[in-house]
């Protein structure tokens, strides 16, 4: 099932560091060369973070965003043309290191738009790609209840060197979540928040998708005053105040006096008329749809503009995600944990609801090791699995936070993640 390889642990030592491409919240991204081949390596910051100082709670194991990113890249792997490809993974408990290796792309859209060599005409060819392929990928993810959750121009990668037409791919799935449509708390990037509440997070991501496209067109002008993040307007008691605040945020040119978003104005203020005339129809259609339909869905916006979601592709991804879900094995696993006194039976149903897809995996997984292992090992292993998936500790969490314990934990986690082919659906 897993189509990527596990990287040899001396991979980095035997490769040549060519360039650092970026460093974000989760670690650094660099270009390495081995035997004339170039690889992009995304390392994760590997340290136990104390999440709660009063309880001195320590987070064990491989970072959850690292596990999550691998999981999502595997799930979305059928989207080979529009999602950056995972080439391999490395988990090195001995040296407390973990990283993923990705296919190399030429740049990201933010860096690319800042290059002197990038012309407005080139951006016009990108619009089509952006809407059809990146929009299409988001629409498909949304359709399957996944939110990207970190959508911005530097997370859209571009290949433009040595190919006739630029290609875009979505990347950076560390924060991607499986989430219910009714959830209206925004989990993504504050900068792209929709200032009026009540929208589900999928419409908000659709909104961000549109704002990023506008930013791409008007660069070097800025759509936002980043010092001036607006409040969330729950009640519009003083309309004028609200408008002033939002106008300040959108650098004065995005809101009309009636409180409508005015994309024409922002483009007129920042681009010359010849360039505005080059903007393809698809841009106007998509942005019009998103602005006019407050709870707009990216799929509808694309359909309104003449693009249909690729249902065959959707079915393939869906199968990739859901073949693992099995009600019987899930219940069996929970039963097993309770019988072995790893879990309290009272929380069985709550856990069941939340982690149904995952649990079926564990059961099959744990069954494989139970035949020739002692009861204590099973209990320890059960605790590692439970912690990896739920982030919670079992009744007698056997790890006392010493270095040796952490090492054993990492080793077991590594075995577990590899044995389930990394298919971990982290639901919260
Ligand atoms: N496969 C790739 N090919 C080329 N460049 C890449 C690739 N992956 C990442 N990069 C570059 O590295 C940057 C950071 O990568 P990524 O977004 O995956 O990491 P991150 O730590 O989550 O960053 P951030 O927190 O800033 O979003 C990207 O914006 C891009 O410029
Ligand atoms: Mg990023």
Cα three-residue angle 137-98-410, rounded to 5 degrees: 115
Residue 405 backbone phi and psi in degrees, to 5:
-60, -45
Question: Quick one: pLDDT at residue 364?
Answer: 52
Question: Cis omega before residue 115 (within 30°)?
Answer: no
Residue 351's pLDDT is 55
Domain ranges of the chain: 1-104, 107-317, 322-428
The predicted pLDDT at position 9 comes to 78
H helical segments located in 219-326: 239-249, 263-270, 273-278, 281-292, 298-304, 311-322
The ligand whose atoms approach the alpha carbon of 104 most closely is 1
Which pLDDT score, from 0 to 100, does residue 324 have?
44
Q: Which atom of ligand 1 is nearest to the CA of 174?
A: 22
Q: Which residue has the tokens 């290796």?
A: 101
Residues 66-82, buried b or exposed e (16+ Cβ, 10 A)? bbbbbbbbbbbbbbeeb
Ligand number, closest to the Cα atom of 172? 1
User: Which residue stretches of 88-221 are H helix?
Assistant: 109-114, 120-129, 135-143, 201-218
| pLDDT score for 241 | 77
Strand duo 156-159 + 177-178: pairing? unpaired
For the CA of 23, the nearest ligand: 1
Ligand 1 neighbours by CB, cut-off 6 Å: 21-22, 24-27, 29, 40, 42, 84, 102-105, 108, 111, 150, 154-155, 157, 171-172, 174
Cα of 29 from ligand 1 centre, angstroms:
6
pLDDT at residue 244, as a whole number: 76
- Residue 312 corresponds to which tokens in the numbers above? 């065959």
Q: Which CATH number fits domain 107-317: 3.20.20.80, 3.65.10.10, 1.10.510.10, 3.20.20.30?
A: 1.10.510.10
Q: Whose CA is nearest to atom 26 of ligand 1?
A: 24
Fold: same for 1-104 and 107-317: no
Separation of 24 CA from ligand 2 center, angstroms?
6
CA trace torsion 394, 397, 401, 405 (10° rounding): -120
Instruction: Identify the CATH assignment for 1-104 out of 3.40.50.1370, 3.30.200.20, 3.30.70.20, 3.40.50.1240.
Output: 3.30.200.20
The DSSP H or E segment spanning 355 is helix 348-370
For position 186, what pLDDT does the model report? 59
Which pLDDT does position 77 carry in this prediction?
A: 86
Distance 22 CA to ligand 1 centre (A): 6
Residues with a beta carbon under 5 angstroms from ion ligand 2: 24, 155, 172
Return per-residue pLDDT of the chain as tens, 428 residues.
Answer: 445 566 777 888 899 999 999 887 778 999 999 888 899 999 987 766 555 545 555 566 788 788 788 888 888 988 999 999 998 888 887 888 889 999 999 999 999 999 999 999 999 999 999 999 999 999 999 998 899 999 999 999 999 998 999 999 999 998 888 787 777 665 677 788 777 767 788 988 999 999 999 999 999 988 887 777 666 666 666 777 777 777 777 766 666 666 677 889 889 989 999 999 999 999 999 999 998 887 888 999 999 999 999 999 999 888 777 544 444 445 555 666 677 666 666 555 555 554 544 554 555 555 555 455 556 666 777 778 777 767 778 777 777 777 788 888 888 887 777 665 555 544 33
Contact by Cβ (8 Å): 214, 222: no
**Sheet bearing 107-108, strands edge to edge:** 107-108, 156-159, 167-170
Which of 220, 155, 158 has the alpha carbon at shortest distance from 192? 155
Q: Which atom of ligand 1 is nearest to the CA of 104?
A: 3
Q: Name the token pair of 423.
A: 């298919």
């Amino acid at each position: 099932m897993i189509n990527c390889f596990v990287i040899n642990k001396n991979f980095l030592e035997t490769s040549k560091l060519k360039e650092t491409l970026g460093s974000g919240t989760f670690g650094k991204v660099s270009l390495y060369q081995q035997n004339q081949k170039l690889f992009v390596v995304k390392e994760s910051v590997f340290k136990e973070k104390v999440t709660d100082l009063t309880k001195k709670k320590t987070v064990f194991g491989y970072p959850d965003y690292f596990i999550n990113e691998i999981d999502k890249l595997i799930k979305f792997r059928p989207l080979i043309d529009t999602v950056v490809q995972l080439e391999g993974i490395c988990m090195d408990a001995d040296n407390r290191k973990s990283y993923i290796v990705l296919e190399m792309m030429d740049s990201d859209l933010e860096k690319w738009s800042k290059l002197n060599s990038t012309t407005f005409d080139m951006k016009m060819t990108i619009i089509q790609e952006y809407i059809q392929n990146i929009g299409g990928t988001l629409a498909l993810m949304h359709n399957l209840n996944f939110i990207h959750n970190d959508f911005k121009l530097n997370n859209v990668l571009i290949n433009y060197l040595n190919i006739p037409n630029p290609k875009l791919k979505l990347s950076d799935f560390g924060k991607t979540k499986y989430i219910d449509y009714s959830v209206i708390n925004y989990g993504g990037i504050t900068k792209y928040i929709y200032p009026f509440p009540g929208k589900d997070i999928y419409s908000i991501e659709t909104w961000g998708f549109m704002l990023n496209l506008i930013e791409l067109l008007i660069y070097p002008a800025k759509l936002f005053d980043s010092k001036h993040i607006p409040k969330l307007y729950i009640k519009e008691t003083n309309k004028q105040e609200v408008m002033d605040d939002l106008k300040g945020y959108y650098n004065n040119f995005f809101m009309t006096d009636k409180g409508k978003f005015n994309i024409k104005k922002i483009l007129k203020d920042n681009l010359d008329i010849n360039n505005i005339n080059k903007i393809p129809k698809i841009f106007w259609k998509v942005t019009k749809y998103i602005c006019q339909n407050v709870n707009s869905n990216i799929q509808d916006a694309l359909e309104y503009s003449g693009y249909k979601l690729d249902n065959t592709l959707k079915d393939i991804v869906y199968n990739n995600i859901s073949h693992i879900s099995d009600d019987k094995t899930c219940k069996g696993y929970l039963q097993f944990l309770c019988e072995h006194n790893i879990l309290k039976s009272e929380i069985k149903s709550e856990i069941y609801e939340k982690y149904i897809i995952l649990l079926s995996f564990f059961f099959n997984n744990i069954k494989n090791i139970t035949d020739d292992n002692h009861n204590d090992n099973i209990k320890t292993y059960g605790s590692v699995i439970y912690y990896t998936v739920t982030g919670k500790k079992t009744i007698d969490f056997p790890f006392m936070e010493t270095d040796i314990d952490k090492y054993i934990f990492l080793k077991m986690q590594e075995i577990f993640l590899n044995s389930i082919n990394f298919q971990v659906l982290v639901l919260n």
